[in-house]
Structures are given as C-alpha cells and as structure tokens.
Structure 1
C-alpha cells in the first residue's frame, strides 16, 4: 500500500471529512450549489486548507457522472463558458495566495466568505453586474481568485446566477452545476504547478469520491422543482452551521 494512501486511511479526521463530503454532495445534488460552502469550512477543521482544496477538487470527478450529464442539457453554455474561461485565467492568482498565506488566515477567510455569502443570500442581495460578456468575465475572474485561494469558487457565480431575472430554476441549477464542477477540476493542474498537490491530498480526494458521488446521486433524485425554496432554505441552514463551526474563536 502506498505510504500516502496509508496516511490518508489512518488520518483521525477521515470519517468526519467523508461525512462532510457526503453531506456537501447531497446539498449540491438537490440545491445545485453549496457543496464547497459546506465542505471547506468543516474539512479545514481536520486537514490544512491546501489539502482540503486539492482533495475536494479531485472529488468533483464524481459530479461528472452524477450531476453534469443532466445539467449540461439545460445550461446556458455560452454564459458558463465565458465565466469558466475567466476563472481558469485568474485561478493561479488565488492558488498563489493559498500557497503564501498562513493557514489560519486562509481558514478565517473561508469562514468569513461562507458566512458573508450566506448573509447575502438570506438578505436577497444579488450581484448587479448587468448583461453581456464583460460582467460574466468579471464574475468568472472573481470565482477563480476565490476558488484558488479558499476552494470557494461558488459565491460570485451563485450570487450572479440567482440574480438573473427571468431565469428558470432549472437553468440556474444547471449553470451552477456545470460551472462549479468543471472549474473545480481545473484547479488541479494549477495546484500541481504550484506544488500544492501532494500524494496525501490526491489519495484523500480519491477516498472522497464514493461519499461525494453517493451524496450527489441522492440529491439529484430528491430534487423537485416545486420544492426549490425548501431545498434552498435547508442548504442555507447547513451553510450557516458550517461557517459558524469554522470561526477561529472556537479553536
């Protein structure tokens, strides 16, 4: 057995990280967003932020099978493509911050971004950036910086998509699912190039594939369009609990 795999299997926080992955996948499956907002604050209680970002990015492979095929049919591919392109270009900036900043600073940033995003969602605030290509490129760039540094690539694009007037719930979910999955996977080469993809993180990500896949599979099958509001409120509650648990005042 590879040494890094043995270390991952023997890590005392593995059961909790796997449970967090399952829960994050479940929420992602039925709400269309929120997986990183739940996973990152809780996982960083047990592993370093860099390891959590790498492992969670790898676990997104599961969504290629469980979520993306169905979402791809409804997604606005041009809009998502523009945001993805900008995200990929700016991801190295965020990864550099993840590499250089103290771990506690990153953990605190994850907690604050999580709670700040939740506050914006509950208050009904949306990103008023208008229409056209430029706003989508701007949102994608913010997502790349935030995702590379904290693993939270979702907040900018979530606030943007939920604020798009007249956009059906199914299209919003599809846009978020495709964007979040594909951009999370795009973090992996950037992490490797900057030396933040150690074997331990890779094996941890492999171990998370099964619980995350199970969660997303179950979440997709739980989704009912007429209950979108209920799912969203449930996701908000879990995001709030995760953000509060990650605040440094408790540790």
Structure 2
C-alpha cells in the first residue's frame, strides 16, 4: 500500500521533478506569512507551465487553503468584516462563470492571461497608484464579482481585491488580516466548484498535499519575520518576486527554447 502511494506521488512529479515546485512553494509560503499575499500569484504562472492550467488551480487552492487555516486564527480579530464579508459572498457567487471559462478557453491563453495579470498588478502596485474611492459594501461587491471570475479561471483572483483592500490608511495588521480572511472565505467554495465541474482531479489535490509542508514551514517563518514597521520592505521584495514569476509565464516559450 505504502509503495503504491509513493509510486503514485512520484508519477505526479515525473515530468517536472520535485525540486522546482518545492522551491516555489517554500518561497510562496514566506511571502504569504510575512505579507499576507502573493503566494498564489507566485505559484500560478510556474505551476501552469509545469502542470497545466486546470491542475494548477486545484493544486494552488489546496495549498492555499491549508495556509489560510494556519494564519486565520491569529488574523481574524483585526479583520474588517463589514467589507470582507459581503465581498467574499459575491466572489463565491461569481465562481461558476469562471469555471465555465476555464473549461472553454484555450489553455495556452489562460497561462498568458495569468502571467499578464500578475505583471500588470505588480506595475500598478510599484507605481504607487491606489484605489482612492470609497470602500463601501457596494464597491466591494463589484470587486468581488470580478475577483470570483478570475479566481475560478486562473486561481489568481487577488489583484483587484488586493488593490481595493490596500486602499485607505488602515495599519499593516488590518490590511494583512483582511487579505488572509478573504482567501480563507473563498478557497473552500472554489475547490468544491472545481470538483463539481470536473475540473479538479485527485492527482492535483495529492500534489498539493505533498507540497503543503513546505508551504506551512515557509508561512510559519514568514509570520515570525512579520514586523509592521518593515511593511515597505516586505512589499518591495514580494512585488519583485511576483514580477519575475509573471515574466516567466509570459516569456516561457522563449526561455524553454
């Protein structure tokens, strides 16, 4: 039995090896632990190339959910539930449309879309442009609808939500708690929808569980390193890493040749 499980797990990584996704997951965990965001955006373009867009989503979400469970208890007290709650509900309602797109759109286009979204997000965040409108329930629901479609199609639903939640003058701890809570509230429904539409297989979930310990270790270390006074440093490092991951996805055909 154990030999069969080991053989099955080895087959999941046979085409790519284990060390590349392992390193990516460890770094993603560090980013998630100290910044509260960035892990899915780092893993998505690399895993889409390694495993394919559909398997990538299930693998990323399986890993992300476990990390959310780890980080949520210490963050929930700082969350602004008035904004995050209604937005998360709308995200879940919009996910079926994203799942339909995932099943219908060319897979190569999805890889490019994921990578392009990440690069644009990084450039916007690095430029200092921020959402300046009112953070109301209505505005949050509009952002949530867009994020839900993006999340189910690409696993990267964070950019519009991050730009919205990072607006205003809230302290770093509040920003971090809002982001962690948002992911926690939306990842369970996303996995359910993926299985319901037949887009997630057992193999992608197993792959995520095998990589999970590295993510948890990275998130734990990142949480220990978190210091609100160093928010600018954290964000700069996270954005630089994300830009590299997005550029890899966009230029992968040239890199692999």
TM-score by length of 2: 0.92
**How many Å separate the matches in 1 of 2:11 and 2:157?**
28
2:27 corresponds to: 23
**1:130 partner SS:** coil
| CA-atom RMSD in angstroms | 1.6
1:208 aligns with 2:211: yes
For residue 150 of structure 1, report the CA deviation from its aligned partner.
0.7
Specify the alignment match of 1:5 in structure 2: 9
**Does 2:79 correspond to 1:75?**
yes
Q: Find the aligned partners of 1:110 and 1:155 in 2 and give their Cα distance.
A: 11
Q: Partners in 1 of 2:180 and 2:107 — Cα distance?
A: 28
Change (3 A) 1:140 1:7: same
1:50-69 to 2 correspondences below 5 Å: 50-69=54-73
- Return the alpha-carbon distance in structure 2 between the equivalents of residues 192 and 209 of structure 1: 20
Unmatched segments (≥5 aa) in structure 1: none
The answer as to whether partners of 1:27 and 1:33 remain within 8 angstroms in 2 is yes
Q: Deviations over 1:60-82 (max 9, x none)?
A: 23224431111111111221111
For the 8 Å contact 1:142–1:156, the answer to whether it is kept is yes
Q: How many residues align?
A: 250
Q: For the residues of structure 2 that align with 1:213 and 1:110, how far apart are their CA atoms?
A: 24
Deviations 1:177-234 (A, max 9, x none): 1112331232101100111111211111111211111111111111011111101100
Q: What's 1:166 paired with?
A: 169
Residues 47, 56 of structure 2: 8 Å contact kept: yes
Task: Give the Å deviation of 1:167.
Answer: 1.2
Aligned CA distance change for structure 1 residues 9 and 43 (closer, same or farther; 3 Å) = closer
Cα distance in structure 2, aligned partners of 1:13 and 1:128: 45
- Between the aligned partners of 1:84 and 1:27, the Cα distance in structure 2 is 22
Inter-CA distance 208–185: structure 2 relative to 1 (3 Å threshold): farther
Give 5+ residue unaligned stretches, structure 2: none
Structure 1 position 11, deviation (Å): 4.2
Q: Distance in 2 between matches of 1:188 and 1:70?
A: 24
Tell me if 1:146 matches 2:150: yes
Could you tell me how far apart the structure 2 residues matched to 1:166 and 1:219 are? 23
Helix, strand or coil for the counterpart of 2:140? helix
2:112 is aligned with 1:111: no
1:45 CA drift (Å): 2.1
State the distance in 2 between where 1:184 and 1:11 align.
27
Q: SS state of the match for residue 169, structure 2?
A: coil
Q: 1:182 to 1:131 in 2, by over 3 A?
A: closer
Task: Look up the match of 1:33.
Answer: 37
User: Are the aligned partners of 2:83 and 2:135 in contact in 1 as well (CA < 8 Å)?
Assistant: no
Query: With structure 1 as the length reference, what TM-score do the two structures score?
Result: 0.94
- The Cα offsets for residues 7-34 of structure 1, whole Å up to 9 and x where unpaired, read as 2253434321121111111101111111
